Structure 1
Amino acid sequence: MVPKKRQSKRIKASHRYKIIKRVAEHHRKQRREAKKNPQKHHKKPKDPGIPNSWPFKEELLNQIEKEKQEV
């Protein structure tokens, strides 16, 4: 069986510029939407974890581990 030849990546310049224009328009639209709805794209607050100075840290970590195993 003869392997198929790969198609050339050459395209007309007008088509390439059209794609670039469409992508830029899409990004512009996304930025506009992000400005209109700032609550939609907010980050969740990170869990700070347990500080080393916390009393009984080992016991708390063991308790959390047991709860994870039960689930």
Structure 2
Amino acid sequence: MLYAYISPFIILIAMFTAAFFVIDWLAKLFIYTFIVNLMCLPFFMLYKEEVSQRNTQSSPQEESNHVSKNTDSQ
């Protein structure tokens, strides 16, 4: 989660540093990296959270299924 907050700032600082030193291709690389990171990272973080919630929700359901099977057999 820390990566989601820090990485855009690091990329932005690097972009301005590259622009300050007038390194055109490096500035473009940092701009494109920042844009891709800004566009893709929220969806990646949402997907990661959804997968973790799905894993935590599936565990109790599996346990309850096992419990109901055990009570029926007795």
> TM-score, normalization: structure 1?
0.37
Higher RCO by CA contacts (8 Å cutoff, separation 6 or greater): 2
Q: Find the structure with the greater CA-based Rg.
A: 1
Which structure features the higher share of helix residues?
Answer: 2
